Structure 1
């Protein structure tokens, strides 16, 4: 009986024979000196939108947090378990990241469920409770008869990014550092079907295609 699925073992074998030899010194430096990423990236746990692949990043460059629909809950120090909030606190206060990027993506299953009243998710279960964070926006969009289902989903995917950025600013450590100019917040949306990346204009809130030199 294998200790891991075969495709994972095969992938690891390829990593050790092709990539690791060229990055051995870098990995050893990271192990010795610790991580010091400048950017925290909050993304969806969808297997099709891996931030490290999209941004072609090397080990140690990104501090990545992934959850259903790339949501950031509001600041609630209530003694409960808060994984995303704990990761945010570590990134900002311990790693002292300079940037936080919230990246949504097209065809997001969590967003689709939030828009569908016939979704099998129970409000009392974990995913249903988690997606209730964007319930008000979902209700307003789902009732718009002038939008197609895909338009409604894309709209909520992008609204959820702006929502998460708003919630980030409820955390005192984020708010203080942003006001001091020591922390910058960004929003992005990735289209799985085309590979296009859209960046949020911080002045207008609109999502625009970034220009490359």
Structure 2
């Protein structure tokens, strides 16, 4: 049996030999010039969905913020600790990203936990997760948390809610109005590898290849 930490160390050695040294020009440029990603991806912490792998992205190409269920809280500058909001602010104000993608996914554990709590199936015994997942409570209640087939619907509704919350940040909405920023809601199906995007014209999610060419924010 491979000890997990040894698996990581072996992976690092492989990365250094097969990737870092062969792409020395790219890695050195990133070290010297810093990062200039054009895209912010707000993704779930779930180990099965890694945005860099999903989009075959190079280092420095996307700025990734990950949290439980890929949630975006509403704009609340109240002096508290706002990890997700601070990362979004840095990406928009300092990195000046041109695209923001909220990336939810199939079988999200955070969404499943909230559905179980809302339906009364389990009692919330977390110190932090329950409060965080309350951001998705309305979506769970709207789509029937006790319906075993509502998982994907709740996940997609939560993505749309996060997109809406993004626009509550005044410096995001202003850049959208100026045509400098676009916001998108995407959902990844782990089981079949399909990626779906929210179409603001229909309110539905369609496989990304069928969406209209990107030219405007949601």
CA distance in 1 between partners of 2:183 and 2:122 (Å):
32
> Residue 22 of structure 1 aligns to a residue in which SS?
coil
Rounded to whole Å, the distance in 1 between the matches of 2:64 and 2:151 is: 24
- Cα offset, 1:210, TM superposition: 2.0
Q: Corresponding residue for 1:137?
A: 139
TM-score by length of 1: 0.92
The answer for unaligned runs of 5 or more in structure 2 is 211-218
Shift of 1:120: 4.5
| Map of 2:216 onto structure 1 | none
The CA distance in 1 between the partners of 2:42 and 2:70, in whole Å, is 6
Aligned pair partner of 1:153 in 148, 151, 154: 151
**Distance between the aligned counterparts of 1:32 and 1:121, measured in 2?**
47
Shifted more, 199-208 versus 179-188: the winner is 199-208
Displacement after TM superposition at 1:85 (Å): 0.2
Contact kept in structure 2, 1:44 and 1:103, CA below 8 Å: yes
Cα RMSD over matched residues?
A: 1.5
1:34 is displaced (CA, Å) by: 0.5
- Counterpart CA distance in 1 for 2:106 and 2:122 is 18
Deviation at 1:141, TM superposition (A): 2.0
Is 1:24 the equivalent of 2:24? yes
| Alignment CA distance shift 1:138-1:21 (3 Å) | same
Counterpart selection for 2:124 from 114, 121, 126: 121
Q: Does 1:83 align with 2:74?
A: no
Paired residues of 1:188 and 1:198 also in contact (CA < 8 A): yes
Q: CA separation of 1:54/1:118 partners in 2, compared to 1, >3 Å: closer, same or farther?
A: same
CA contact (8 A) 1:162 1:205 kept: no
SS at match of 2:143: helix
Q: Secondary structure at the match of 1:29?
A: helix
The size of the alignment, in residue pairs, is 204
In the alignment, structure 1 residue 10 sits paired with structure 2 residue 10: yes
Q: Deviations over 1:61-98 (max 9, x none)?
A: 00000000000000000000000000000000000000
- 1 CA distance for matches of 2:122 and 2:98? 38
Q: Within 5 Å, which residues of 2 pair with 1:4-83?
A: 5-83=5-83
Mapped contact 1:186–1:202 kept (Cα < 8 A): no
